[in-house]
């Protein structure tokens, strides 16, 4: 993997991971202190059509699954591990799934678009890093 791709992917997955952990913790704190929306947490009314009665499970999933996979991907990619691209792909797909599911219940937010683009960028960088977009030499005739 080229150095610039590895560094960019490490920074991107690290940033998404840290913000996912922070967002998940914010959801957990709001759920456990019984605050109703406001600030950084969505209003509880968004849970109406979902299988959840509070933001505890979504907060745990966001912090542990989305945040955890991204932080693991950042560490592995940053160290140049052969498992780094796989971990980054898992994290990127997980982020896209999180955003798709979130958009089923929560009205559109610019943050959803930003994180969706981040997930696409992660997957694009993985593909670049694996050499899937190499130029092919043209055979002389």
Lowest mean pLDDT across 5-14, 37-46, 80-89 = 37-46
pLDDT at 107: 84
Q: Scanning the structure block, which residue is given the tokens 């920074």?
A: 11
The whole domain housing 42 covers 3-129
| CB contact at 8 A, 64 and 28 | no
Residue 31 inside a domain? The answer is yes
Identify whether 135 is part of a domain: no
Residue 139 lies in a domain: no
- Percentage above 70 pLDDT, the chain: 91
- 141 has a pLDDT exceeding 70: no
| pLDDT > 60? residue 50 | yes
Torsion angle of the four alpha carbons 17, 23, 29, 32, in this order, in degrees rounded to the nearest 10: -100
């Amino acid at each position: 993997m080229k150095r610039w791709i590895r560094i960019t992917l490490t920074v991107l997955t690290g940033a998404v991971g840290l913000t996912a952990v922070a967002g998940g913790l914010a959801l957990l704190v709001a759920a456990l202190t019984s605050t109703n929306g406001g600030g950084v947490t969505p209003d509880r009314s968004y849970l109406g059509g979902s299988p959840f009665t509070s933001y505890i499970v979504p907060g745990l999933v966001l912090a542990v699954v989305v945040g955890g996979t991204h932080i693991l991907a950042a560490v592995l990619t940053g160290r140049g591990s052969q498992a780094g691209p796989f971990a980054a792909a898992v994290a990127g797909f997980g982020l896209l799934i999180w955003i798709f599911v979130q958009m089923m219940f929560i009205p559109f937010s610019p943050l959803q678009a930003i994180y969706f683009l981040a997930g696409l960028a992660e997957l694009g960088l993985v593909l670049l890093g694996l050499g899937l977009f190499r130029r092919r030499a043209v055979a002389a005739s």
